[in-house]
Chains A and B, each alone.
Chain A
Amino acid sequence: MYKIGMIGERDSVIGFMALGFAVHEAEDVETARTVLHTLAKDSEYAIIYIVENYAIALAEDIAKYKDLPTPAIICIPGKNGNTGYGLSQVKKAVERAVGADILFKE
Chain B
Amino acid sequence: MNGASELIDRWLNTCAAWALALIWVLPLAYAVWTAFHPAAYEARFDLFAPLTLENFAKAWEAAPFARYFLNTFILVTMILAGQFFLCTLAAFAFARFEFPGRNILFALVLLQLLVMPDILMVENYKTMRMLNLVDTIPAIALPYIASGFGIFLLRQTFMTIPKELDEAARVEGASFLGVLWKVYIPLAKPTYLAYGLVSVSHHWNNFLWPLIVTNSVETRPVTVGLSIFSAIDSGVEWSVINAATLMTSGPLLIAFLLFQRQFVQSFMRAGIK
Is this pair of chains taken from one and the same complex? no
